[in-house]
Structure 1
Amino acid sequence: MAYYSVLAVTPTAEDWIPGYIGPANRLVAQHGGKYLARTASHEQVEGAADEAALRIVIEWPSREAAMDFMKDAEYAPFLKARTEGSKSFHFLIEGKDDLA
């Protein structure tokens, strides 16, 4: 079953970004992930303000693939750079409808 990473990222420093994008792209693909959206073009249409500079959606073939990516030792320094250089929120969502 597909899983989706949904992230809200607001950089607090810019120095980590150029070195992050290439390796993250490669590692996401290596773990079977596919970027569905990665953009600063978004708007909140409901709820209390939850501002973020970027919204990112990644589709994974499984929960295991998503977690393998997050736990990948090669990704660890890039994850550290992102979390230290931004305000980041990452949700992993199972691709199912519990209310159907």
Structure 2
Amino acid sequence: MPVYLIADVTVTDDAWVPDYAAKVHDIAARHGGRYLSRSGNIETIEGAPPGSTLIALIEFPSREAVAAFAADPDYAPFAEGRKAGSISNFHVIDDTDLAGGIPYLPKG
């Protein structure tokens, strides 16, 4: 079952950004990850704006694949740099419909 990693990031020190942006997508790809978006074009249509610098949406084949990506030793220095230079919130969601009313999604 596919899952989606939502990375909501507010950059506080951009020193880590160039290397992270250039290399982390390859590490994610080794674990089946595919970026669907990595954008700073955030428009709020309802509620309070998140104040984020960027939001990334990455599809993975499973929760195990996300965990393997997060635990990858090659990712560790990039994660440390990101954590030191940002406020980051990472969330994983699956492809289910909690209410069960969308016919093309599995009931959650």
Query: Within the alignment, does 1:76 sit opposite 2:76 as a pair?
Result: yes
The structure with the larger Rg is: 2
Residue by residue over 1:39-65, the C-alpha shift from the partner in whole angstroms, topping out at 9 and shown as x without a partner, is 111211222332101011000111111
**Number of equivalenced pairs:** 100
Shift of 1:7: 1.4
Aligned residue type for 2:54 = L
TM-score using structure 2 length: 0.87
Match of 2:3 in 1: 3
Unpaired stretches in structure 2, ≥5 consecutive residues: 101-108
Name the % identity: 39
Mapping of 1:1-100 within 5 angstroms?
Answer: 1-100=1-100
CA distance in 2 between partners of 1:21 and 1:49 (Å):
24
User: Taking CA–CA contacts closer than 8 Å with sequence separation of 6 or more, which of the two structures ends up with the larger relative contact order?
Assistant: 1
Question: Normalization by structure 1: what TM-score?
Answer: 0.93
